[in-house]
Amino acid sequence: MNEANKQKYDWRVTARLLVKPQVASLYFLGLSAGIPLALIFSSLSLWLNEAGVTKSTVTYFSWAALAFSFKFVWAPIIDSLPVPFLTRFLGRRRGWLLVAQFGVIAAIMLMSSIDPAMGEQSLYLMAWAAVLLGFSAATQDVVIDAYRIEVADVNIQALLSSTYVAGYRTAMVISGAGALYLADLWGTDKGHYRYEAWMLTYLFMAGVMLVGVLTTLLIREPAQQNGRVLKHTAIQYVRFFIFFLICVSLFVFSYLITSDYAVQLKQQLIDLLNNKALGNFIVEAFQLLLSAAISIIAGFFLIKAGVTDKDMVRESYWLPAADFFNRYGGRLAILLLVFIGFYRISDIVLGVVANVFYQDIGFTKTEIATVAKTFGLIMMIIGGFLGGVLSIRFGVMRILLVGAVLTVVTNLSFMWLAHAGHNIPLLYLVISADNLTAGLASTAFIAFLSSITNVSFTAVQYAIFSSLMSLIPKIIGGYSGSMVQNIGYSNFFLVASLMGVPVLYLIYLLNKHSRFKLES
């Protein structure tokens, strides 16, 4: 039987599935998950800009993004450790979810209490508040992903994914465009900065997070549970948590103390290679690897010193990876990881330069906001629901293939737009096709990742998959600007489209295995 496509339903059954409580609740959890993102990045950037903060100083806030890239590091904590009192009354997933949501609310309220125009000390506090928000938001993502996989059968994961994505995208509008609207309504702009307006805006967003808290209290705990929980003593859990905090602190400290040297090395490499993107990537990769190595070596000695139980570390970090390779075998497991790393590469690489492209060919900010952002969001949500319904009806693997083909085709349409220039009807057409495809492909892909995740290691395995699926595209996306400068927009869009062609071959290779046949 096909691993990612075990059962298909007719249209009437599919329609009834849409109103199941598990499906509907994922919309509100998606809303809760999507609120923090813009408050860390786009909305915060405009707040800092209005407050007169220099663009170079804003780079401090890139720390917040690290939490989303390395959430798999603390996912074992969520998979293994109970939350005192809350786990007993709410269950493991809901207990952790409530902790993460209150962490998000506290971080947003802390940000609202800081005026970045008050000087360097306030900026440092704001940066750390943003890091706290990123950490709490990434933790919430880990728990929601685990909850989504465990709360319902694999056959309806596509519908759960589509409603989650719809809620997430809605929240990004609320905390993005909505936050800007509120700040403007309360009387702040670039020439007349008013801290109170941003304070009220962020407090309002903290209030919106209560939708997620209420949802957490109303939903039921998943029936499928990781059997490893609560089999260790309370002291062992405390020691493991202390071990984790020491290792993470060493990682952060190592990264901080090497930052000044990294800046100097970056400039030297950029001058040597004459390539800013490559120079930055080499130094940042080395810095991260060095910090990780220091943390791992320290962890080894901490285990030897008896700070934590060796078996708990093995269960939390080694067993999830070993389980994946044991279930699929070495060759298929590697093929799956390559597929995960490259499936969304074409869209993500193109998306890096999309807004700049729209401006460069003559579209105004208002036109971009109206068509690319607002209308595009609607089309992406429709595409997400379409991907969920079609995956249920025809199978996830078929829709993954359709999404991969359409991604190549729709990205080629940007070449048409590049030649046409400022053409509003054509922009609507290109945005419609691109976002509809992105929504459809993303939903099917999330359902696919859910289907290959073992519920015994849900949080850890899915956190690894979700980090991997954006890692390679983001690295390559860092070269997008340089590619455009060297070969022009039309050729860049051709290259970006061609990046999606190997994905078709990867699906062909997966189709050779009985678990991933296109036909059930």
| pLDDT exceeds 80 at position 483 | no
What mean pLDDT do residues 101-123 have?
Answer: 92
Q: Which helix (H) or strand (E) holds 500?
A: none
The CA-atom distances, in angstroms, between 238 and each of 77, 81, 83, 94 are 11, 9, 11, 20
Say whether both 329 and 277 belong to one domain: no
Higher-confidence residue of 217 and 14: namely 217
Range of the domain at 171: 11-232+309-516
- Inter-residue contact 79 to 316 (CB < 8 Å): yes
What mean pLDDT do residues 436-463 have?
Answer: 87
Say whether both 261 and 159 belong to one domain: no
CA distance 473 to 346: 8
Least confident of 147-161, 230-244, 445-459: 230-244
pLDDT of residue 18: 60
Say whether both 119 and 53 belong to one domain: yes
The amino acid that residue 269 corresponds to is L
Last residue of a domain, one of 254, 274, 308: 308
Say whether both 269 and 281 belong to one domain: yes
Say whether both 385 and 288 belong to one domain: no
The amino acid that residue 337 corresponds to is L
| pLDDT exceeds 50 at position 1 | no
Instruction: Report if residue 146 sits inside a domain.
Output: yes
466-494 burial, b if ≥16 CB within 10 A, otherwise e? Answer: bbbbbebbeebbbbbeebbeeeebeebbb
Say whether both 355 and 224 belong to one domain: yes
Instruction: Report if residue 5 sits inside a domain.
Output: no
Most confident by average pLDDT, 129-133, 279-283, 388-392: 129-133
Q: Which of 121, 40, 161 is nearest to 466 (CA)?
A: 161
- Give the tens place of pLDDT for each residue, 319-337: 888 889 999 988 999 999 9
What mean pLDDT do residues 111-132 have?
Answer: 88
| pLDDT exceeds 90 at position 140 | yes
Least confident of 287-301, 409-423, 425-439: 287-301
CA distance 109 to 44: 13
Structure tokens at 298: 């320290």
Instruction: Report if residue 350 sits inside a domain.
Output: yes
Instruction: Report if residue 4 sits inside a domain.
Output: no
- Give the tens place of pLDDT for each residue, 22-56: 778 999 999 999 999 888 877 887 788 788 876 55
pLDDT of residue 133: 93
| pLDDT exceeds 90 at position 158 | no
| pLDDT exceeds 60 at position 7 | no
Instruction: Report if residue 6 sits inside a domain.
Output: no
Domain count, the chain: 2
pLDDT of residue 257: 84
| pLDDT exceeds 70 at position 277 | no
Share of the chain above pLDDT 90, in %: 28
Least confident of 259-263, 381-385, 471-475: 471-475
pLDDT of residue 141: 92
Say whether both 440 and 460 belong to one domain: yes
pLDDT of residue 518: 63
Last residue of a domain, one of 308, 335, 369: 308
Task: Please report, for the domain that includes residue 168, its CATH number.
Answer: 1.20.1250.20
CA distance 172 to 143: 19
Supply the pTM of this predicted model. 0.78
CA distance 426 to 428: 5
Instruction: Report if residue 1 sits inside a domain.
Output: no
pLDDT of residue 472: 73
Say whether both 303 and 156 belong to one domain: no
pLDDT band at 2 (very low <50, low <70, confident <90, very high): very low
**In the chain, what is the straight-line distance between the N-terminal and C-terminal CA atoms, in Å?**
7
Tokens 């940066």 correspond to 127
What mean pLDDT do residues 479-504 have?
Answer: 85
Say whether both 216 and 237 belong to one domain: no
The amino acid that residue 72 corresponds to is F
- Give the tens place of pLDDT for each residue, 160-176: 888 888 899 889 888 88
Say whether both 110 and 252 belong to one domain: no
- Give the tens place of pLDDT for each residue, 57-103: 554 565 566 667 677 777 887 877 788 888 888 988 999 999 999 99
What is the average pLDDT score of the chain?
Answer: 83
Tokens 């629901």 correspond to 385
Say whether both 282 and 398 belong to one domain: no
Share of the chain above pLDDT 70, in %: 87
Helix ranges, 395-423 (H): 396-420
Last residue of a domain, one of 257, 289, 308: 308
Tokens 């927009």 correspond to 489
| pLDDT exceeds 90 at position 306 | no
Instruction: Name the DSSP letter for residue 224.
Output: S
Say whether both 179 and 295 belong to one domain: no
Most confident by average pLDDT, 87-91, 216-220, 253-257, 267-271: 216-220
The amino acid that residue 48 corresponds to is L
